[in-house]
Every structure is written in structure tokens, then in C-alpha cells.
Structure 1
Amino acid sequence: MSNATTADGTPASGARVANPWLIALVVSLATFMEVLDTTIANVALRYISGGLAVSADEASWVVTTYLVSNAIILVASSFIAKRYGRRRFYLMCLATFTIASLCCGLAWNLESLLIFRMIQGFAGGGMVPISQSILADSFPPSKRSQAFALFGVAVVVAPVVGPTLGGYLSDNFSWHWCFLINGPVGLFAFILVYFLVDEPDSLRQERARMRRQGVRFDIVGFLLVATFLGALELVLDRGQTEDWFGSNFIIAATAICISAFLLAIPWLMKTANPVVDVRLLASRQFGSCFIVMLATGAILIATTQFIPQVLQQNFGYTATWAGLALSPGGLVTMFMMFVAGRISNKIQPKYLIAIGTAIIAAAMYDMTRLNADLNFGFFVWSRIYLGFGLPLIFIPMTAASYDGLRPDQTDQASALINAARNTGGSIGVAIASNVLAHREQWHQSRLVEHIIPSDPTYNQALQGATQYFADRGTGAIDAQSQAMAWIGQQVQIQASYLAYIDVFHTLMWLSLAVLPLAFILRKIDLGEGSGHQGGH
């Protein structure tokens, strides 16, 4: 079937219809569904734990297996799409993801759930970068920022919606629906992709060339990179639970990770058709975008996990209400995505990224005002501030990462950028978890130093609390015991607040650390007549 054209007459090589925005809507829907599954299970873990009669630690593997398998397949998606057909591969991933989601919802024990979750991660990991490549090929460079805005809504808003939707379904129905909900959405997306998305002529020619030349999949490179990413995800996700390097498991995983990395670099540099083009990462433009995406993923996923966590643990919110605190920020993010998409055609990406990074740093600094007297509105507004900043990074950075790339590099670039987002998310959560655990112990130790008989503040608090319990009919000895227990509880709560403040301070410094990278980016042509920037 012949390719259609975009509104400005540029060939839309990935579209079967005259309006490429239909393509953008369809692939963004599929992407939204896949990215949603990175966080939807987080708040449902205690329900999964109870429903399958396993420990909370065992249930957390539901998240880990998805992240690991997702990261592994990302690096192979580029070659598979080029060698066997982008559209065919995309449909296969979408169908597999949908079926695996239904199987997750029908899982009869933890082992079956983890197997289906791993299959779901493999399929989803192949789907997202191809979605981005389809967009890059369906729009001319001058329209690409607006198309990526719609895609960005899926990538940035989905992790925010995940805890809210997962909490609501788990609280009111069953944890199974966190996965079963993908069934009808996946079927709908599959039908639309089948009828609307076409294979670009350039990819057909590339596939024919690869077949003629007998180009083979870089299995050695894939195994090395997959081992590196898989081991890295395991270390980051399980480190805090396993007591980091006090665990032989973490030590072994780290050794495997480092060994695979050291072996992968020379192999990828010398092989003819590497599974990962490391020269892309070494370039000033794409390498800077890669690092910025790592940090953006870290802050997005870490805040998405830790804001609901502090609301549930320290403020007593249900999973549903903890998730709802993020929802208005998601709406602001959605609005700002389209604003960023519009202004990206007029303002250089480097300036928008710098502004967005500064806003995120300010939002994280605002979160350091955390205390027990805060209400629901504080957390809503904190997420709204973040919602203003994220799109100003995501949209310009995505557009900038494609600048100067050849058409055959778009799938590779998409895979690497999405690998950065996934890995960055795991890095962010690992850093935040580590800071939280260690700083909570440190603050508790400092606060306990003041709980001594010679401290007048402690004596005053003890007498007041003892009198409080005595006035309610408790005997003198029991009243004092209850008062001491209450003071100990207050120390733990205060230490927890101070540790969360340290987490948000850390994320603020992480945001500021990547700010200089924005100014490393070169200026790109914002006009209609820009050259090859990704898919044409």
C-alpha cells in the first residue's frame, strides 16, 4: 500500500492514512499501557502478597522481573525490527504483551505470575522504542516535537496514573485487575495498528539489503549487553532488600555486571553490525541526551514511588488516596506536554531543558519542607510543580536526540533512550531507597542521644505524656511505660520525616548535576526545511 502524506506534504513513511496523528494516538495508547505496568503493581504488592500467601519480599519480584526483562529486550529491538519488519515485530510484541497481561491476572501462584510477568516485560520492552521510531518516521522534523508530545504524555503520565489506578483496583476490586485491564486495551490497539500502520519503504529496502548481505544478529553483543543490563537492574532493585554488599547475591550480580560491561565495550566497537551502536553514546549530542534521560527517569520514577509511600506510611492514606495525590500533577504534565511540543519549534532544546531541570530542582527543594502537619494539598502542588518541569525536558530532549541521525539509526536511538529511561528509573529508586534507609538510622541515632534523664526537654515530654495517660485511668507505672513507648514512636516518626527530606534533597542535587549538560547540546534547525533528523 502506498504511503500517505502529512499535512505539509512530507511523506509519512509509517502511515497508511492521510492523517499521521491517528498513528500517534494509536502507538501512544499502546505505549501508555506498557509504561503503566512499570508502576501499577507497586501499590498492589501487599494485596498480591496476601492473595498468593507469600512474603512481601517475594511479592516484590513481580516488579523486579518486569524491569529486568524489559531492559534486556530493549537492546535487541532495533535489529529485530530492521531484520524481520518493524510492523510485524510491533504487532507480535503487542499481542504477546496483551496475552501475557491476561495470564498475569489469571496466575495461580507466585511462580506462574513471575513467568508471565517476565514474558510481559520482554514484549513491552520491544514495543516502546518501536512506537517512538514509528512516530519519527510518520512526521517531518518540523512536526516531530508535537508528535513526541503525545508520546511523552504516555511515557510521563502513565507512571503517575499507575499507583492511582493500581490502588483503586486493589482497594475496591482485586489485584488481578491491575493486569486484566490490559486485555481490552491491548486488543483495541492491536486492531488499530494492524489497519493503520504501514512498513516504511526505507525499512523494506534495508531489510532486503540485510537479507542479501547475510547480516546476522550480534548474539554475542546481545548476551553481553543483556547480562550487563539484567545484572545492573537486579543490583539496583534488590540491593536495599538484600543489604547491598553484605549479600553474596548482590556481590555476585555486581561482579557479573562489571565483567559483562568490560567485555561488551571492545566487542561492540570492533564488530561489523553491533547490537548497540556505542558510537552514538560517545557523540556529544546523543550522549548528553542519554544522560539527561537517565536523570529524568530517575526523578520521575523515584518520586512516583516515594510520594505515595510517605503518604501511606507517615500520613495513613489508603493506596487510592496516595495515588490520587499524584493525579493533578499528571494532568498538568499532560497539558505541558502539548505546550512544550508547540514551543519546541521556536526555542532551542538546550534552553528548554535547562529551564525544565531548574523547575524540577526547585520542586524537589520544595518537598524538603516535609513535616507531620502537611495536608493533601501540599503533595498535590508538589507534583504539579514537577508536572511543569518534566515536559520541558522530555520533549526537547527527545527531539534533540534525533538531530543529525541517519534514517537507519532511529530504531537504535529509540531503544537506547528508552533503556536510559528504564535504567534511570531503577537507579533513582535504588538511590532513594538507600538514602532513606541509611539516613533514617542516622537520624534515629542522633535523636536517641537526647533521650537521657539529664535532658530537660526529654524529662518535660516524659512527664507530660505520663500525665496524659494517667488522666485516662492508667496506673502510674503503666502510664510511664506507655509514655516512654510513645516518645520512642515519635523518635521513629521524626527520623522517617528527616530521612525523606534527605531523599528529596538528593533528587534535587541529581537534577542540578545534569543542568550543565543542557548547554552542551548543539543548536538544531527549528525550521521546516531541517535536514535528516531521524526518519526521512
Structure 2
Amino acid sequence: MSGWSNERSAAGDRNPWLIVGVISLATFMEVLDTSIANVSLDHIAGGLAASRDEATWVLTSYLVSNAIVIPISGWLSDVIGRKRYYMMSVALFTLSSLMCGFAPNLSFLIFARILQGIGGGGLAPSEQSFLADSFPPEKRGAAFAAYGVVVVCGPVLGPTLGGFITDNISWHWIFLINVPIGIISLLLVNTFVIEPEILQKERRQRLRRGLRVDYIGFALVVLGLGGLELILDRGERDAWLESTFILGLAVTVAVSLGFLVWWELARKDPIVNLKLLANRNFAITLLFMTTTGAVLFGTTTLIPQMLQEVFNYNATNAGLALTVGGIATLVAMPVVGTLTGKVDTRFLLMPALLLQAASLWYMSGWNSELTFGQASTARLISAVGLPFLFVPINAAAYVGLKPNQTSDASALLNVARNLGGSIGIGVAQAILISRGQYHQDRIVEGLNPLNPSYVEGVNQLSRTVGGTGGDQSMTTLSALMQQVREQAQVLSYIDVFHGFMIFVLLVTPLAIFLRQGKAKEGAA
């Protein structure tokens, strides 16, 4: 016997697997929305008479508001009530999706996306708290595996679905499809999810002591995490620290986060429970979740971007290159769900991390002759290993934590995943620009009449592009520079993949220090 009881279960006397199915609807809706709009920015900009740079605020506004809400969602869930807060989040996400779909201008769309980010930020932490409290430790791995299918596959299917809808229907429908899903989710949650009596009792006791709102902590979260998300998303477009705005924001973020750590550790009732980081197991799993977010969201963004920018794929086909990976994830999830809790967590995590490194190493061997099959193969290798990261990390994170800490732990895990994704994407875009310019300069250095390869290449291009006289020279030069830019772009992507690979290899040995969760450690 593990000593675990279902007194905190969101399923009550019902089968807890029912809860997995119920919450998966809203999970898929929210996770899908983090990536579905990426491939539609040009269409959104055109439809709302805005520039592409202005349209990127559609992504930024969502990410910033999402980043602010996630870390405080555990506190909000305890104060408002877990089920009530979850339903409020689903309702807000659904309503704001409707507003996005009918947005008459860019300003209204950005406002609606802020509301959507606030609603979406409360979903995943509450859902993981539902699961952690509804399943005994020996079954928790299988539960997180089922839940992980939608969490991992959402970002994979997002670009494909977004590209198809945008190319064949209208960008408005990438938001409107959330509305019926959200309504069904609300009805199911209201019917099948319960608020356990022990949670209601804890909430009443908290309120009886007086609701002490950590306003300073909340302000520091807004400035620190919101500002960090803004830097990571806008830094590349604004030339990073060359921008006075980004520089000032970076100083504000550094001071705010430093003060946030000191302030929250000193409070008895913090809005973000950073004291959980004293648990070594939990601290290591946060690092691994950050790595998983960086690899998952980073490669999910980079592969379609490379296929579109360098190889002229349309949005639909670029997204399809990730679909094979989604299928591999679906196949691997039940396997890892069965193994988690039976096999030492370290024996699952370390091979999975090495598989990510192998996938990135394979990507670093790409060149300008890249085929659709090669892109799909790289994603397939990565996707097979992702479940063996996501599920054991979530299962191991709760080992040794108290039952009433699950909401706070879930919130921090989701902060790590989203922040990892933002860091991965932001750093990757910065490297692409700097290394792209570097490689272009190095290639151009070799383009001179004294280089036999240059002369031979120019002659071959002249025969290929045709033309006569001065027109032929200009056409040849234009074609040559196009090849230079293409080669420089490919080399810069290879540098990013190399960087990701090195980061994953450096993190991998830390898995040795994880504790193996056992069934009797059933508190969380």
C-alpha cells in the first residue's frame, strides 16, 4: 500500500481516467494556440492593414500575459478554488478567442490576445494539479502520458493546421475553432470534475485567516517574467541591447527577478512558492523541463521557418514536415506511460536527452540540397524521445513534495516549459542573424577573379541564366548573391542546431542526481 488516498482527487468516486479525457479538450485548445498563429502572421497583417512587424505583437501579447499568469496560477487556484478558477480560465480563453476571430483591427486583436493569454495561463497548471491529485503515484506516469499526448502534439500540429486553415479558409478561423471546443469543455468540467472537500476546507481556512495579497510579489512577476518574455520575443527585431528600450527593459528584468527571489523566500504566504526549489529533485526537473521546452518549441519553430525562408515551402507543407514526428509521439506515449514508475527515471531521461542530441546532430549535417524526407526524419528522431522527457519529468517533479504543494509545483513546471521555449526561440533567432551575416561575409571574401572556383561558378551561372551583355552580367550577379544568401542561411541554421546539441549534452549528466520516485512516496 502506498498510503495514498483520493481525498484530493478531482474525480471523486468516478474513474480518474475520465478526468484525463475531460481536461484534454482545453489542453489541446490552449497548447495548439501557442503555435497555430505563427504561420498566419502575413495573412493577419494583410487582412488588418498592418506591417508584419506590427502583426508580431499578436504573438508577443499572448506570450507576455501568459508568462505573467502561469507563475501565480497556483496561488489563484488556492484562493478562488481549483475547479472554479479552471472554469473561469476556460471561459475567458473561449470568449477571447471569439473576440480574436471577429477583431476589426490590429489593436483590438492584440487586446483580445492579452485576455486569451490570461485565460490560457491558468489551464495547464490546474490540469496537472488535477492529475497529480487524482492518480496514485504508481499510475501517475500513465496519466501524464495520456495528458502529454496533447501537450506535445499541440505545438507539432499547430503549424500544419494553422497553415492549412490560412491557405484554404481564413486566418479568422484559427481562433474561431476554439469556441465550440471551449463550450464543450466547460460543460464537461462542470459535470464531471469536482472540488474535493479537503480543498474547500483549506480554502476556507486561508480566507478565514484573511486574504493577504502579495501585491509586491505580483508586481515583480509582471516586471520580471513579463519583461523577460518581451525581451526574448522582441529583442531580435529591435537589435537587442542596441535598442534603448530593450536595454532599459533588461535592467528592469534583472533587478525585478533578483528582488522577486528575495521577497518571495521571505514571505509566509508568497504568490510564487520559490521555496519548492529547495527540493533538489524538483529543482533538477525544472531545469529538464526548461530544456524540453527549448528543444520542443525551438525546433518546432526553426524547421518550418527554414523550409519556408530557404526552400520556399508554403505554410501547409512546412507544417507537414513535423507531422510524422507527431505520429511518433503518439506511438511512444503509451510505452513511456507504462515504463514510468516501473523503470528508474534516470534510465528514461538520459537516453531521451541523448536522442534529442542525436536529432540535432543529424540536423547539423543538412545542406542546401535538403529534402522533405530528411526534414521529417530529423523531427521523427526528436519526437520519439520527447515523451520520455515530458512524462518522467512530470512524474519525478512531485516526488517528496507535500500534497498541498501540487498547484504551486504545477505552476512552476509550466513556467519552466514556456520560458524554456521562449529562450530557445529567442536565442535561436539571435544566432541566425549574427551567424548568417558572419557566413555571408566569409563566403563573399572568396568571390574574386583570382579564385578558380569563383570563375568557373560565374561561367556556369551565365550559361544557366542566359541574357546578353550588361543584362547578363546583372542577372548572373543577382543569381550569385541569391546563392550566397541561401548558403549563409543554411550555415546559420546548422550553427543553431549545433548550439542546441551542446546545451542538451551539458544538461544530460544532471539526470544522475534525480531521486527515483516510488509508489510509497505518494504524497503528491
TM-score band w.r.t. shorter chain? over 0.9
Does structure 1 residue 516 correspond to structure 2 residue 509? yes
Partner of 1:88: 84
- 1:261 alignment partner, one of 250, 257, 264: 257
1:510-536 deviation line (CA, Å, top 9, x unaligned): 2112101211111221x4xx23341xx
Q: CA deviation at 1:210?
A: 0.5
For 1:333-367, what per-residue CA distance to the aligned partner results, in whole angstroms no more than 9, with x for missing partners? 12212211111121111221111100000001001
1:482 to 466, 469, 475: 475
Q: Residue 338 of structure 1 is aligned with which of 334, 337, 345?
A: 334
Determine helix, strand or coil for the equivalent of 1:514. helix
Q: Corresponding residue for 1:492?
A: 485
The Cα of 1:164 is off from its aligned counterpart by 0.6
1:72: which partner in 2? 68
Instruction: Output the CA distance in 1 between the equivalents of 2:128 and 2:488.
Output: 43
1:99-114 to 2 correspondences below 5 Å: 99-114=95-110
Structure 1 residue 283 displacement after superposition: 2.3
Are 1:12 and 1:139, in contact at CA under 8 Å, matched by a contact in 2? Answer: no
The two structures have a TM-score, normalised by structure 1, of 0.95
Flag the 1:467–1:328 CA change in 2: closer, same or farther, 3 A: closer
Deviations 1:362-418 (A, max 9, x none): 001001121222221111111111111111111001000011111110000000000
Paired with 1:359 and 1:290, the residues of 2 have a C-alpha distance of: 20
Judged with a 3 Å threshold, the aligned counterparts in structure 2 of structure 1 residues 516 and 106 are, in CA distance, closer, same or farther, namely same
CA distance in 1 between partners of 2:362 and 2:463 (Å): 38
Post-superposition offset of 1:169? 0.4
Q: Deviation per CA, 1:256-292: give whole Å up to 9, x if none.
A: 1011112212211111101112121232101000111
Do the aligned partners of residues 17 and 107 (structure 1) sit closer, same or farther apart at CA in structure 2, a change above 3 Å counting?
A: farther
What's the counterpart of residue 430 of structure 1?
Answer: 426
* Aligned twin of 1:150: 146
Query: Does the 8 Å contact 2:6/2:133 carry over to 1?
Result: no
Verify the 8 A CA contact 2:16 2:135 in the aligned structure 1. yes
Paired residues for 1:75-474 under 5 Å? 75-470=71-466, 474=467
Q: Deviations over 1:14-43 (max 9, x none)?
A: 114622111111112211111111100000
The answer to whether the 8 A contact 2:220-2:257 is kept is: yes
Alpha-carbon separation, structure 2, partners of 1:17 and 1:503: 50
DSSP-derived class of the 1:519 partner: helix
Q: 1:370 touches 1:501 (CA, 8 Å); kept in 2?
A: yes
SS in structure 2 at match of 1:38: helix
Of residues 403-412 and 200-209 in structure 1, the stretch that sits farther from structure 2 once superposed is 200-209
Determine the C-alpha separation between the residues in 1 that align with 2:28 and 2:463: 56
1:438-491 Cα offsets, whole Å, 9 max, x none, are 111000000000111111111111122223344xxx213321221122111111
Q: Contact (CA 8 Å) 2:341, 2:517: kept in 1 or not?
A: no
The answer to whether the 8 Å contact 2:102/2:172 transfers is: yes
In the other structure, the counterpart of 1:504 is 497
Letter in 2 for 1:340: V
1: CA distance, partners of 2:471 / 2:81 = 74
Identity percentage of aligned residues: 46
User: RMSD across aligned C-alpha pairs, in angstroms?
Assistant: 1.4
Work out whether residues 32 and 158 of structure 1, in 8 Å CA contact, stay in contact via their aligned partners in 2.
Answer: yes
Distance in 2 between the 1:302 and 1:208 partners? 43
- Structure 1 residue ranges (4+ consecutive) displaced by more than 4 angstroms after TM superposition: 8-12
Structure 2 residue runs without a partner (length 5+): none
Determine the structure 2 residue equivalent to 1:4: none
Shift in Å, 1:244: 0.2
Q: Distance in 2 between matches of 1:265 and 1:420?
A: 15
**Structure 1 residues not aligned, in runs of 5+:** 1-7
Cα pair 1:17 1:196 within 8 Å, conserved: no
- May I ask how many residue pairs the two structures share in their alignment? 521
Deviation at 1:11, TM superposition (A): 5.5
1:531 is matched with 521
Q: Is the 8 A contact 1:75 1:222 kept in 2?
A: no
User: Does the CA-based 8 Å contact 2:6-2:12 persist in structure 1?
Assistant: no
Deviation of 1:233 (Å): 0.3
1:17 & 1:190 partners in 2: Cα distance?
Answer: 20
Native 8 Å contact 2:12 2:196 kept in 1: no
1:5-44 → structure 2 map (5 Å cutoff): 13-16=9-12, 18-44=14-40
**Deviations 1:80-134 (CA, angstroms, capped at 9, x unpaired):** 1112211111111101100100110100000000000000000100111001101
Give me the whole-angstrom Cα distance separating, in 2, the residues matched to 1:282 and 1:51.
Answer: 50
What letter is aligned with 2:46?
Answer: G
* 3-state secondary structure, aligned to 2:260: helix
Letter in 2 for 1:162: G
Give the distance between the partners of 1:116 and 1:313, measured in 2 at CA: 29
Distance 1:177 1:119 in 2: 18
CA contact (8 A) 1:286 1:401 kept: yes
